[in-house]
Structure 1
Amino acid sequence: MTRPSSRTALITGGNRGLGRAAALALAADGTDVVLTYRGNADEATAVVGEVEALGRRAAALQLDTTVPGSFAAFAETLAATLQDVFGRETFDVLVNNAGYAGWTPFGEMTEEVLDELLAVHVKGPILLTELLAPSVADGGRIVFVSTGLTRFVANPAYSAYASAKGAIEVYTKYAAKALGARAITVNVLAPGATATDFAGGVIRDDEDYRAMISGLVAFGRIGEPDDIGGAVRAIASESAGWVTGQRIEASGGQAL
């Protein structure tokens, strides 16, 4: 098929936070967007409207990335959506963003929480990526979202979360090698402290906490969702085709 002029991106967890910021940044750059949401359809619908207001096409699909048994049905729904809404059989950009912060103080970790963190940050992204890879257009982009906590050690209560993200950083290199023959880049973006509802919104809402972290950042401030959205846009751009298998930190120089 002739590749259409407009690119299309799939963003998991695109209904809020960093996923929403990525969707809007890509849309502003001329990319159509399919976003997934786990449970809040109203948030997802609102983001679809925001993307459309930027002049791009958009769709929202329900997906729980902790349930791999649902992935095959999701892939079928995605294929139908690509055809019906975007007139395509493939898409160009996959952003594996869905996730959450698990609180695991040392000595208090439970098997249940550890399983949940591994499911959403390791098992789900890997299985979904390998299932959907044939539908990513040659020359496409795959972006995993990690965390700055894989480099700088903060509260030990984030140990399991950071470890799960560390696993996906290693997987990124192997996926980059596996997909290199198709000129598909695979990179991992590691945000620093960013003002979202992550971990209950403490970075966004607690002024004392923000001030403490800001003192550790070269830019002297906390990151905003748009900072990360811009980083996703840069990594996913067509001009970034010679960058693959890399961990790219977007932290404003945190803990240098």
Structure 2
Amino acid sequence: MSTTTTENTNRVVLVTGASRGLGRSAARHLAAAGTGVIGTYQSNRAEADAMVEEVRAAGVPAAALRLDVEDASTFESFAGEVADALRAAGAEHLHAVVHFAGFGAFAPYTETTAEQVEQMLRVHVSAPFLLTQALLPLMTEGGRVLNVSSGLARFTNPGYAAYAAAKGAVEVLTRYQAAELGPRGIRVNALVPGAIATDFGGGVVRDVEEVNRAVAGAIALGRVGEADDIGAAVPALLGDGMRWADGTRIELSGGQSL
């Protein structure tokens, strides 16, 4: 069953981290809006294939490509794979790139190692910086880039200094990308989720009842977020109705730590 609209016909979006969590939800909602999806995965091919089936069931093209966002040396060849996937989908260009791939790690500031900091920067800063750069020749004029930050870049939760610092850098990067890609009409924004009940960070918000309850108590709407609270917003953020949003952070946290 397809709900393809004229606005979204022939649009294809690249979603990193599409085999799980927020990326998987975004892929489903994009498909429901009539947008094709090229999703990436790191290791779980079975889940990536399941994502492709879900997207194709909505009547739009889909593909899954393996990508390790920590290895920037592969980005140029990956762009070639994306070009092949676009041709197979009957599309000339990418409409948008959405950067969901990533992970969280808990470590007190005084115990965080250099390698942990460097890995956070590679995954959460270098990847959206350099992967977007590699994909620019494939992007349509007037396309979109959606980086993904975190509410932890605004409020603090001890133990996430490296992760939050990297996400703060993502928000600065977003503004610079918007300024420099504006001449092509490419809009760049940062999607900022609050606490979400997924397997992220070991699933602590989802699976540990006291953590879930404590986090919900800090959210104005009285509950932690679900993956679909974020995924459902992605088609809207990439759509023409948000065409005047550029270089901004868009927080979806239910009113967390206001």
Q: Given the two structures, how large is their TM-score scaled by the length of structure 2?
A: 0.95
2-side partners of 1:83 and 1:63: how far apart? 19
> Residues 1-256 of structure 1: matches in 2 within 5 Å?
5-84=9-88, 86-154=89-157, 156-256=158-258
1-side partners of 2:122 and 2:139: how far apart? 23
1-side partners of 2:134 and 2:179: how far apart? 17
1-side partners of 2:55 and 2:13: how far apart? 12
| Matched position secondary structure for 1:152 | coil
Return 27-36 or 226-235, whichever deviates more: 226-235
1-side partners of 2:109 and 2:248: how far apart? 30
Does the aligned pair in 2 maintain the 1:13–1:98 contact within 8 Å? Answer: yes
Instruction: Name the amino acid aligned to 1:146.
Output: S
1-side partners of 2:180 and 2:154: how far apart? 25
Encode CA deviations 1:78-125: one digit per residue, 9 max, x unaligned: 1111112x1223110100111000222121111111111111001111
Runs of 4+ in 1 over 3 A off after TM superposition: none
Deviation at 1:4, TM superposition (A): 8.5
2-side partners of 1:173 and 1:112: how far apart? 27
Q: Given the two structures, how large is their TM-score scaled by the length of structure 1?
A: 0.96
2-side partners of 1:50 and 1:163: how far apart? 35
Encode CA deviations 1:114-144: one digit per residue, 9 max, x unaligned: 1111110011110001111121111111100
Deviation at 1:230, TM superposition (A): 1.7
Does the aligned pair in 2 maintain the 1:139–1:241 contact within 8 Å? Answer: no
Aligned-pair identity (%): 49
Partner of 2:4: none
Aligned residues: 252
2-side partners of 1:6 and 1:72: how far apart? 24
Does the aligned pair in 2 maintain the 1:36–1:44 contact within 8 Å? Answer: yes
2-side partners of 1:60 and 1:71: how far apart? 15
| Matched position secondary structure for 1:157 | coil
Q: Which runs of 5+ in 2 are unaligned?
A: 1-6
Does the aligned pair in 1 maintain the 2:9–2:34 contact within 8 Å? Answer: no
Does the aligned pair in 1 maintain the 2:9–2:35 contact within 8 Å? Answer: no
Q: Which runs of 5+ in 1 are unaligned?
A: none
Instruction: Name the amino acid aligned to 2:192.
Output: A
Does the aligned pair in 1 maintain the 2:109–2:160 contact within 8 Å? Answer: no
Does the aligned pair in 2 maintain the 1:11–1:94 contact within 8 Å? Answer: yes
1-side partners of 2:222 and 2:112: how far apart? 33
2-side partners of 1:192 and 1:5: how far apart? 31
Instruction: Name the amino acid aligned to 2:161.
Output: S
Instruction: Name the amino acid aligned to 1:95.
Output: V
1-side partners of 2:165 and 2:219: how far apart? 22
What CA RMSD, in Å, does the superposition of the two structures yield over aligned residues?
Answer: 1.2
Does the aligned pair in 1 maintain the 2:151–2:192 contact within 8 Å? Answer: yes
Instruction: Name the amino acid aligned to 1:110.
Output: T
